[in-house]
Amino acid sequence: MEIIKRLPIATSSEDKGITVLCGDISELKTPIDVMTVSAFLRNYEPVPRTMIGGLYNAGVSVRELSRRPAIDLRDFCNIWLSEEIPSPSLPIKRIGCIELLALDQLPPAGQEDEHSLLNAIKSYFSMLDIAANAGAGIETLGLPMLGTGSQNISDNLVMIPIINESIRFLERNESVREVYLFSRRYEKAKKIADQLDRSYSILRDSMAPAAIDQRRKDRPLVFISYSSPDRNVADNLCAKLEARGLRVWYAPRNVDKPDYATAIVNAISRCTHFAVIISRSSLASEHVLNEIDLAFQETKRGIRFYPLKLDQETLGPAFKYYLSRQHWMDASFPPLEERLGEFVGKVLKELDD
């Protein structure tokens, strides 16, 4: 699946995040503790090109899971949460279901009951709060745009409440770290990402200043240095670090002013950990070398270096000068996804030591 956007969500305990993904459920590699599906009332038919259909093709039957749910609130608000999925073919631990409409009572387009829809979404997140607080082990949540497929509910009607409730869910629930918003179509995924920015800006501006806890500023900040051809690796590494509660700064995402150089200098002066992605392209980049030099000047205050080598290219003299005594992480042999996970584990382990 393609990462369209990841938005860090500031909370009093840690930086969490909402990630927008584009692709088919069969491409899912990211572990999801609860994957959400929408269904017609008491109808779990695996219709093609729906989330339930995609899960069925991957060997996960929502119909079978519905027969023995861990939490069953269908008699009250048409929501339920499955038991853990035995030996799943996808990295999904449980299924959560919202049954929005009756199959024989579809409203005309533009005449959906917005109030009922909002209540259903809020009730669903309340159920997840109960499950998480009861020790169900919910750290990650997956959400498509519920009901916008065969139930024909408009995107705009669903998108805003799902995004708003996802943000509030991350802010109030200590165990949940990441919410993933899914779409099969790139245009819709981009629309979700744009709305995510707008919604978070509105909610953040409405927060009292005291809600932004000072402790966030005292936690580790990882600066990622890389060359533009390695942008996908940097994006992936950033997502993994932030999913584990670390703050991350990297360009161009965190550059909010036209003075690019000043933003980078300021960020390196504040960071506690400096991760540099070394590859053939970065070894030819003066910008990466400049960032390494700036970080090297900060070693007196205890900045930690984390070089990540993507290939077997030989270091030039300047890079040897700065990095020869640093402990390397070799990511030149596949699979890269595992190497990045090991790299994040190394950073976290040294934080705990």
Among the listed ranges 159-163, 205-209, 314-318, which one has the minimum average pLDDT value? 205-209
pLDDT, mean of residues 104-114? 55
- Region for 271 from its dihedrals, namely left if φ exceeds 0, alpha if ψ lies in -120 to 50, beta otherwise: beta
Sheet (strand 304-309) strand order: 247-249, 221-225, 273-278, 304-309, 329-330
Q: What does the pLDDT look like over 18-47, one tens digit per residue?
A: 999 998 888 888 899 999 998 888 888 888
Taking the C-alpha atoms of residue 76 and residue 351, their distance in angstroms, rounded to an integer, is: 46
pLDDT at residue 211 in the model: 44
Could you list the beta-strand ranges (E) of the chain: 2-10, 15-22, 32-40, 71-72, 79-81, 92-101, 140-144, 178-183, 221-225, 247-249, 273-278, 304-309, 329-330
Q: What does the pLDDT look like over 240-262, one tens digit per residue?
A: 888 777 888 998 888 866 678 88
Tokens representing residue 97 in the block: 């279901």
Whether 291 shows a pLDDT value over 90: the answer reads yes
pTM passes above 0.75: no
pLDDT, mean of residues 72-83? 93
Domains of the chain, earliest start first = 2-211 (3.40.220.10), 219-352 (3.40.50.10140)
pLDDT at residue 109 in the model: 52
Compute CA distances 275 → 98, 215, 328, whole Å: 42, 23, 11
Q: What does the pLDDT look like over 145-157, one tens digit per residue?
A: 876 666 667 777 7
Beta bridge partners of 72: 80
pLDDT, mean of residues 76-82? 92
Whether 299 shows a pLDDT value over 70: the answer reads yes
Taking the C-alpha atoms of residue 215 and residue 213, their distance in angstroms, rounded to an integer, is: 5
Question: pLDDT grade, residue 346 (50/70/90)?
Answer: confident
Q: Select from 182, 242, 316 the least CA-distant residue to 8.
A: 242
